[in-house]
Amino acid sequence: MRITKTLQFIFQFITIGLAAAFVVIVFFPELTQKLASNNPPIVEVSQHTAETAPVTQNRAPLSYADAVERAAPAVVNIYTRKIITESAHPLMRDPLFRYFFGNQPGMTRQRQESSLGSGVIISPSGYVLTNNHVIEAADEIQLALGNGQTAEAKLVGSDPETDLAVLKIDLDNIPSITLGDDQALRVGDVVLAIGNPFGVGKTVTSGIVSATGRNMLGINTFENFIQTDAAINPGNSGGALITAEGFLVGINTAIFSKSGGSQGIGFAIPISLAKDVMTQIIEHGEVIRGWLGISVQDITKELAQSFGLPSTDGVILSEIMRNGPAHRAGLLPGDVITHVNDQAITNVRNGLNLISQNKPGSKIKIKAIRKSKAFETEAVVGQRPREDNQ
């Protein structure tokens, strides 16, 4: 009996305690919060290791060695040599002296000038892409491969307006690079630049795509650059811009720098543009572009007001070549071209690109404005002369 009464007392005590706790939690929660504040919570974290971390498509690799190993063998060093004839005496540079005395024998001398750059082997048959300014006016072009092979390169053709050139070497079992898709590039994608800066040897630098579609920089006539902060220095010109997987997306071309060294703003020609130029050079010996025989200028706000134009879109014809395609189509200086084949023209470079994309002999529809009145005409496209022949 005594044990039973003891158990009853214990159960009653527990029941009263639970009831009291329930009342405090429900009706007086601030008391529980005050008690909890005296004991800070323990934060648990889960630390992934290399073995447990899930592999995802967007996960950055710890190394780009595989990409470099895939692409670097196809990147070559280019050494050029040219003979320059110049006046041996300062007086020979004076036009008045030459007028009276002419070019005297022994008053000229020759010197050898060397330069360096980079190139990319595009096909196993030995075609190499590089910049035109790397090999321009060279008397001799030597290529050095990563495996120690060297070869004299033949110039297949060049395109100064995009600053591209195609070389050819005759070697057996040469490596070639795999082309990537520059249209799929996004700002922020990791890219690597491979080349021969300052002649120190093959060098790899990394960065990201800073911008795409850069133009109106005044570097080339036709511009559509990939901008990157991967370090590009003198000697990198003509080298490869590759993705983190090792696929070629651009030909390194220029840097924006006040010091002459890399400042994080470099430009590469997209491989889609370079491939098209290369194909035309190999097939035709030159790049064939459409041409109207006109000189144009952008429309400023002041010009738009004076011409009575609703906006600054379009270009003003400043000069027209006599008997050229535009002249035969009835266009006159002062006309404003607003559309080519129903595509709006926004500025000079945009208009130049729209016209050059048409094949010589094809017909294009032109929308224009003359003395505040809109009109349409049709022109038969001619072939654009090479820049060095204009």
pLDDT at 221: 85
What's the pLDDT at 283? 92
Residue ranges covered by each domain of the chain: 2-36, 69-168, 182-284, 290-389
Q: How far is CA 304 from the centre of its chain?
A: 33
Is 182-284 a domain of CATH 2.70.70.10?
no
Q: Is 170 a catalytic residue?
A: no
What is 290-389's CATH topology?
Answer: Pdz3 Domain (2.30.42)
Q: Do domains 69-168 and 290-389 have the same CATH topology?
A: no
Q: Quote the pLDDT of residue 51.
A: 40
Of these residues, 115, 210, 237, 356, which one is catalytic? 237
| DSSP for 325-341, written as a single string | HHHHTT--TT-EEEEET
Q: Does 163 qualify as catalytic in the annotation?
A: yes
| pLDDT < 50 stretches in the chain | 1, 36-37, 40-56, 389-390
In angstroms, the Cα distances linking 340 to 279, 346, 367 are 26, 11, 7
Q: What confidence score (pLDDT) does residue 107 get?
A: 60
- Active-site hit among 163, 182, 229, 335: 163
Nearby residues of 318 by Cβ (< 8 Å), 6 or more positions away: 295, 296, 297, 333
What pLDDT does residue 23 have? 54
Q: Which of 115, 133, 159, 210 is catalytic?
A: 133
Domain with residues 69-168, CATH architecture:
Beta Barrel (2.40)
pLDDT at residue 145, as a whole number: 93
Token digits for 2?
């005594």
